[in-house]
Amino acid sequence: MANAKDNPFAVLFEPMAIGPVTARNRFFQVPHCTGLGHANPQAEVALRATKAEGGWGVVCTQEVEIHPSSDISPYPEGRLWDDADIPAHRAMTDAVHEHNSLAGIELVHNGQHAANLATRIPPIAPTHRPVDLYHPLQARAMDKHDIKQFRQWHVNAAKRSRQAGYDIVYVYAGHNMAMLMHFLLPRYNDRSDEYGGNVVNRARLLKETLSDVRDAVGGDCGVALRLAVDELMGDGGLQANDEGSEIVSLLADIPDLWDVNISGWDNDSATARFEPDEGYQEQYTAFVKKLVSKPVVGVGRFTSPTGMVSQINRGVLDFIGAARPSIADPFLPNKILAGELESIRECIGCNICVSSDNVIAPIRCTQNPTMGEEWRRGWHPEVSPKSEKPEQVLIVGAGPSGLECALQLLRRGHNVLLAEAELDVGGRLLHESQLPGLASYRRVRDYRQQQLSVLQEVDVLLDNRLSANDVLETEIEHVIIATGAHWRHDGLGRQHPQGIRINDSAMPVFTADDIYAGKKLPENVLVYDDDHYYLAGVLAESLHQSGHTVTLVTPANCISAWTDHTLEQHKIQARLLNLGVNIVTAHELHLIGEKTVTHACVYSQKLTQVESDGVVMVTSRTPDDSLFAELQNTHSSGETHFKTLQRIGDCLAPSTVAAAVYSGHLAARELGADDTKKLLFKRESVQFMM
């Protein structure tokens, strides 16, 4: 590995003290959820260990509940309720320490954000308030005894954290998800005692908790405060230039480290569609360093070392904080140290990682298919084990699945011929990255294209649409079909499992593929969204931008409904409403006529007719699997030389880009494996106590 002193980014590799402990560099993996947590502790350990191996000087947990009255079931975050939880944490700190990194723990009491669905303890809050989400539950106001207990729970958890080997202990008041933040906000705190009223009173519990934790473990551990300094709500919420800075001044020298960000989670983890620029939080958080003498860490989807150095040199931050960039590339620091900048897998800001936590599933990442698979499949983000028997493999189609498959097969020592019908590689990414806000999606293609370009053992044939005969003529024995999918015109989807009625004389119906192919659309169009992810909303935005009158109809109760999991839904709906796109929710298409479209309310079936000149159908896709089917027929009749023939990605089952990349990766890892010995993956099982 290169010497840090010769590195143009040397400042990033300087050791930095955090109270009594010292981080080996300025790369700081801030707390982030994984959908693993207490439910999958070994997976959690392996994930964090991989970050430490990749060079992150500090590696933190996700939020860790300190007490059963902060139970955010069914979401599996971290847990440190009692001593029984210590061993899982000890495993994490040991693994992180093996790589000379520091381990940090983010202690939390979620207050009214925790419905306590598993423990059934009535939730607690600064004042009587309904709990978050639409659970029919209220949190009760804390009395003085509760406040005393709350402080003691923090002290207990801090001591257990030290016992578990943590170097940094967090007190957490961010994301609108933590009791200590709720106390700060007048909209949640209308107490009339010394914990309510003016800002000094509202910050009292935070100050006391920080001091308690310092007294308990401060001699051994760095004490960090994670604080949201602005909620981006104007004077309806906390603002950096108002109480945000007052609170920072009040607490300035108590923590050893300030971890500052913006709230809620949708603002902190903004997608590239809504915050395209790296360092987008600087405008809100830069003031903190001017008010405190302790080191400051902040985030902003940092992937460029030049941008990181600029943050340090301009005195904005002391540590480069990252959650998503460390998920997309756990080896980002080591790559910068080695000067291998072109090999950084840059986060695309899609929030598929975030969606995993929201749907209560193990984490996944569009750019990094090994994320979350470190323990259960033993996958490493940078190393694919060499094959004992190098083979020649033909991959047909160079979209995300074909590209990832080719790259991993090459890393395993195989020879690859990659054929692509178009003039460039990238498949759907080439088109989707042209749509408003999705430019960063091209990084999925660019990283793989760049990595392939430096490898000798790959032949990429562009502008080559292979037929079954072409494939057979290559005489290559391993064939992988990655030919993708196309959008359906007939409206078949969740709401219409058999398609939609379209009159013979109906207005033209288009799909995204028609738009990519440059077909001219009429002025007045209706976009129908029964897909519920981003595409219909983005197409509506794009069509509006190019001068069309757009109506967006969906059977769901809101547009792009699934993007709630990527923290974008409300932003998408707001943007389209503000643009003047006509939005019709809870309606399905009933009939497409010559000059009108009839849609029906999904509840009352009441019909409404609207004028339109064309429909853009975004409902479902059909795999482009005819090549596979033809080859399979020949193969089953015994007329081919194939040892293996398989399909991957959208050609197998249309899905997200993340699923396509994963599918390509899996196929490459498993090529040559004995089918009977293929293990799905290791499982963490509950131990019965006798």
Interacting residues with ligand ADP (CB under 6 A): 396-402, 419-422, 427-428, 464-466, 482-485, 624, 627, 649-651, 660
Q: Is 235 a catalytic residue?
A: no
Q: What is the DSSP string of 289-338?
A: HHH-SS-EEE-S----HHHHHHHHHTTS-SEEEESHHHHH-TTHHHHHHT
Please give the residues from 344 up to 383 whose contact with ligand SF4 meets the rule CB under 6 A. 347-353, 365-367
Fill in the DSSP letter of residue 454: T
Interacting partner of 349 out of ligand ADP, ligand SF4, none (Cβ under 5 to 8 A depending on kind): ligand SF4
Interacting partner of 324 out of ligand SF4, ligand ADP, none (Cβ under 5 to 8 A depending on kind): ligand SF4
Q: How far is the CB of 453 from ligand ADP (least distance, A)?
A: 17
Q: How far is the CB of 419 from ligand ADP (least distance, A)?
A: 5
Q: Which strand (E) or helix (H) includes residue 23? A: strand 21-23
Q: How far is the CB of 349 from ligand SF4 (least distance, A)?
A: 5
Catalytic site residue from 71, 212, 230, 268? 268
Q: Is 662 a catalytic residue?
A: no
Catalytic site residue from 32, 33, 221, 599? 33
In this structure, what token pair is assigned to residue 82?
């009692």
Q: How far apart are CA 367 and CA 389, in angstroms?
A: 28
Q: Which residues of 652-686 are buried (b: 16+ CB within 10 A; e: fewer)?
A: bebbbbbbbbbbbbbbbbebbeeeeeeeeeeeeee
CB nearer to ligand ADP: pick between 33 and 472:
472
Interacting partner of 465 out of ligand ADP, ligand SF4, none (Cβ under 5 to 8 A depending on kind): ligand ADP
3-state secondary structure of 558: coil
Q: How far is the CB of 45 from ligand SF4 (least distance, A)?
A: 20
CB nearer to ligand ADP: pick between 3 and 469:
469
* CA trace torsion 554, 556, 560, 563 (10° rounding): -170
Q: Which residues pair with 257 in a beta bridge?
A: 224
Q: How many residues bind ligand SF4 (CB under 6 A)?
A: 13
Give residue for tokens 């494939």.
471
Fill in the DSSP letter of residue 638: T
Please give the residues from 305 up to 344 whose contact with ligand SF4 meets the rule CB under 6 A. 324, 327-328
Q: Which strand (E) or helix (H) includes residue 151? A: helix 144-163
Contact predicate 347/303, CB 8 Å = yes
Catalytic site residue from 75, 166, 172, 447? 172
CB nearer to ligand SF4: pick between 316 and 332:
332
Q: How far is the CB of 266 from ligand SF4 (least distance, A)?
A: 13
Give residue for tokens 């659970």.
135
Interacting partner of 350 out of ligand ADP, ligand SF4, none (Cβ under 5 to 8 A depending on kind): ligand SF4
Q: How far is the CB of 563 from ligand SF4 (least distance, A)?
A: 13
3-state secondary structure of 350: coil
Looking at 438-534, list the stretches that DSSP marks H as alpha helix, in order from N- to C-terminal side.
442-453, 468-474, 512-516
CB nearer to ligand SF4: pick between 320 and 365:
365
Q: How far apart are CA 397 and CA 415, in angstroms?
A: 16
Q: Binding of ligand SF4 at residue 62 (CB under 6 A)? A: no
Interacting partner of 392 out of ligand SF4, ligand ADP, none (Cβ under 5 to 8 A depending on kind): none
Give residue for tokens 């293996």.
644
CB nearer to ligand SF4: pick between 72 and 350:
350
Q: Is 268 a catalytic residue?
A: yes
CB nearer to ligand SF4: pick between 366 and 554:
366
Interacting partner of 421 out of ligand SF4, ligand ADP, none (Cβ under 5 to 8 A depending on kind): ligand ADP
**Which among 155, 300, 184 is positioned nearest to 251, based on CA atoms?**
184
Could you give the maximum distance between any two Cα atoms of the chain, in Å?
85
Q: How far is the CB of 397 from ligand ADP (least distance, A)?
A: 3
Phi-psi region of 427 (alpha: psi -120 to 50; beta: other; left: phi over 0): left
**Which among 409, 384, 377 is positioned nearest to 394, based on CA atoms?**
409
Interacting partner of 348 out of ligand SF4, ligand ADP, none (Cβ under 5 to 8 A depending on kind): ligand SF4
Helix and strand numbers, DSSP H then E, in the chain? 23, 30
CB nearer to ligand SF4: pick between 328 and 481:
328
Instruction: State the SS3 of 84-137.
Output: HHHHHHHHHHHHHHCCCCEEEEEEECCHHHCCCCCCCCCCEECCCEECCCCCCC
Burial class (CB in 10 A: 0-12, 13-18, 19+), 117: middle
Phi, psi of 55 (to 5 degrees): 110, 0
CB nearer to ligand SF4: pick between 365 and 631:
365
Q: Which residues pair with 486 in a beta bridge?
A: 622
CB nearer to ligand ADP: pick between 423 and 686:
423
Q: How far is the CB of 430 from ligand ADP (least distance, A)?
A: 7
CB nearer to ligand ADP: pick between 240 and 535:
535
Q: How far is the CB of 31 from ligand ADP (least distance, A)?
A: 32
Q: How far is the CB of 383 from ligand ADP (least distance, A)?
A: 23
Q: How far is the CB of 164 from ligand ADP (least distance, A)?
A: 42
Q: Is 175 a catalytic residue?
A: yes
Task: Give strand ranges (E) for 508-579.
Answer: 509-510, 524-529, 549-553
Fill in the DSSP letter of residue 74: T
CB nearer to ligand SF4: pick between 147 and 444:
444
| Cα 492 from chain centre | 29
Catalytic site residue from 154, 175, 486, 496? 175
Interacting partner of 347 out of ligand SF4, ligand ADP, none (Cβ under 5 to 8 A depending on kind): ligand SF4
Q: Which residues of 120-147 are buried (b: 16+ CB within 10 A; e: fewer)?
A: eeebbbbbebebbeeeeeebeebeeeeb
Q: How far apart are CA 118 and CA 72, in angstroms?
A: 8
Q: Note the residues at the interface with ligand SF4 (CB under 6 A).
A: 324, 327-328, 347-353, 365-367
Q: Which residues are catalytic?
A: 33, 172, 175, 268
